[in-house]
Amino acid sequence: MLVLPDRDAAEEAAEELGARFGTHEEPQLVRDALAGEDDAEDAQWLLVIEDPDGRLSAAELDAFAVEWDGWREEP
C-alpha cells in the first residue's frame, strides 16, 4: 500500500504503476481522512496494490512512492 498526499498524485501514480512495473490489475484508490479532520485538504490517498506473486520489491515501491512525496506501508 502506498500513501500519497493527494488525489492527483494517487491517480498519476496508479497510471504510472502499470507502465513501469507491468502490472495488469488496476490498483485501488482509497481516500483516507486524517483522524478528526473533515476538510478534504487534510486527506491522504492510499494506493492499494495487489501483488500475490511478490513481483514488486519493497525497495522499488519505496522509491516509486517517494516520486509523488509519498511512502509505502505494510497493510
Task: Report which residue type is found at 30.
Answer: V
pLDDT tens sequence for the chain (75 residues): 999 999 999 999 999 998 898 887 889 999 987 655 555 555 899 999 988 888 899 999 999 999 999 999 987
DSSP line for 11-51 = HHHHHHHHHHH---SPPEEEEEEPTT---GGGEEEEEE---
Is this structure's pTM higher than 0.75? yes
Q: Which of 64, 63, 59 is nearest to 27 (CA)?
A: 64
Residue 24: phi and psi, rounded to 5, are -100, -25
